[in-house]
Amino acid sequence: MSKWWRHGTIYQIYPRSFQDSDGDGIGDLRGIRRRIPYLAGLGVNAIWLSPIFQSPMADFGYDISDYRAIDPIFGDMADFDRLLEEAHDAGLKLLLDFVPNHTSDQHAWFLESRSSRDNPKRDWYIWCDPAPDGGPPNNWISNFGGPAWTLDEATGQYYYHAFLKQQPDLNWRNPELRRAMLDTLRFWLDKGVDGFRVDVIWHLIKDDKFRDNPPNPFYRPGQPDIDRNLQVHSADQEEVHEVIAEMRSVIDSYPERLLIGEIYLPVEKLMTYYGRSGEGVHLPFNFQLIQSPWQADALAKLIDDYEAALPEDGWPNWVLSNHDQPRIAARVGAAQARVATMLLLTLRGTPTLYYGDELAIGKVEIPPERIRDPWAANEPSAAFLRDSSRTPMQWDGSEHAGFSQSEPWLPLSGDWQQRNVDAAAADSDSMLAFTRKLLELRQKEDILQEGSYSLLFSRGSVLAFERKLEGEVIGVVLNLSAEPTEVDLPPQLAAGKLLIAAQDADAPQELARTVTLAGDQGLVIRAAKEEIRS
Ligand code: GLC
Ligand code: MG
């Protein structure tokens, strides 16, 4: 249990929206630096920054034109070096976002690659001849809608892009490209970054014959375009695991670094990304809490299935929201978001907390003229509005919520004047105070870090489980509904001590065999030590 990331909590920052320092309405590195004391005080252990590299910003930094430069919007390399140093001084690890599947179409490599068919970098990207009718080489669809192939008129071939046409996919079958990309990892590791979250890692290798994807028999109109086909040949190919093993060996040549993979796949597939004997990523992001109905039985089953599917040395991890998904409070409401956060921070495995979720920022309405996400422009009806989850952090009650001196690039949540860090810090019952308490408890309780997980029961709206280490037990009892309900506690918990309640005002005065759980209530209980017979 020495590895920091096994007992730490990761905090995701979307840099455009965390803190602006130069008044352009867009967050930046100096802004993040200013908020290091906040992050250290919150009790998280690592920050992961969504991309900060040079980019035309077609997909807000997920289209990189230079992997080794900081985009001027965010600052410069000196700003980065200071951020890294100050984060480390504050005891925080720093993770970067590595986007190896595609570059920007403005990357020098792509400009070369498209310049002629026999350019030495031609094969660094994925070029194919047109189909006999002149159309795209196969039926692959972009994740942002429409064909995944764009014709380059000048050279008469199509290039593949799993996302925007401004994001051409790299060819990871090419050994030179591979070397160049692994060197990029070394560049940042040499600077001392603590690891990477790897963007769409399951996409890196595609079928070498570029076979058509089969149609999805369950597709219903209204779903995103990409769901028309099953992604059988365009992603999750066996050879991707070799590539990941190479990344992992670079990571492992430095002490204590972490490799996380962004992977949206069913659980059996997800598990293969740990590698056959641990040569995969340390943490394949587990998004199941995001995808599951918010019901006790469904959650109980998915947690059990996930625990059971983990390889022997595979360390679990959990995510509730991110910059691509609805915020947790937008999905289940602010009161239930406490229960969700209690779940996230008491499950076995590394939690990733999304900035602003500690304030329970909810659904932010984005007026049509302020929509920025390129996916929304492509697929207005099908796209979930990612902008809504990317709005600025709310620091205080001053103009623009203390985020910026000027109008932020995306609107603030409507209730920012009440829902901000300043206001929350003054309220011992706030979501912020509650999140801090949970993080503090997790930090000091080995049981929560290392203890085993077992389901106690799921009954009606209640999910109850225990964490156990060397005979010591912490129980967690969650009411996933807004309706109050009665619950029978096992004897050890009934005789235990309440550590944290999600709704303090409604917490049971005393624990007993039968307690009433208020709506949206959650209890973390230290079980009585001695074995108690019922
Ligand atoms: C990942 C990112 C998402 C981005 C996409 C393309 O899914 O999380 O924000 O748009 O990859 O890079
Ligand atoms: Mg700025």
Task: Name the band, by pLDDT with cuts 50, 70 and 90, for residue 529.
Answer: confident
Beta bridge partners of 517: 485
- Taking the C-alpha atoms of residue 173 and residue 207, their distance in angstroms, rounded to an integer, is 10
Tens of pLDDT, residue by residue over 288-299, are: 999 999 999 999
- HSE-up of residue 165 (Cα within 13 Å, Cβ side): 9
450 backbone dihedrals φ, ψ, rounded to 5°: -110, -15
Task: Name the band, by pLDDT with cuts 50, 70 and 90, for residue 340.
Answer: very high
What pLDDT is recorded for position 2? 67
199 is catalytic: yes
Which ligand is closest to the CA of 15, given by its number? Answer: 2
Q: Give me the catalytic one of 79, 236, 262, 466.
A: 262
Taking alpha carbons only, the member of 188, 159, 169 closest to residue 51 is 188
Q: Candidates 62, 104, 166, 354: which one to mutate for ligand 1, based on the most atoms within 8 Å of Cβ?
A: 62
Tens of pLDDT, residue by residue over 318-332, are: 999 999 999 999 999
Q: Candidates 49, 59, 143, 160: which one to mutate for ligand 1, based on the most atoms within 8 Å of Cβ?
A: 59
What is the whole-number distance in angstroms between the Cα of residue 163 and the centre of ligand 1? 8
- Residue type (1 letter), 22: D
- Taking the C-alpha atoms of residue 53 and residue 72, their distance in angstroms, rounded to an integer, is 9
- Taking the C-alpha atoms of residue 331 and residue 363, their distance in angstroms, rounded to an integer, is 8
DSSP summary character for residue 353? E
What is the whole-number distance in angstroms between the Cα of residue 406 and the centre of ligand 2? 10
CA 63 to ligand 1: nearest atom: 12
Tens of pLDDT, residue by residue over 348-361, are: 999 999 999 999 99
What is the whole-number distance in angstroms between the Cα of residue 199 and the centre of ligand 1? 6
Query: Could you tell me if the CB of 169 is within 6 A of ligand 1?
Result: no
What is the whole-number distance in angstroms between the Cα of residue 42 and the centre of ligand 2? 23
Query: Could you tell me if the CB of 287 is within 6 A of ligand 1?
Result: no
- Taking the C-alpha atoms of residue 50 and residue 69, their distance in angstroms, rounded to an integer, is 14
**Residue nearest to ligand 1 atom 12, measured at CA:** 62
Task: Name the band, by pLDDT with cuts 50, 70 and 90, for residue 381.
Answer: confident
Query: Could you tell me if the CB of 480 is within 6 A of ligand 1?
Result: no
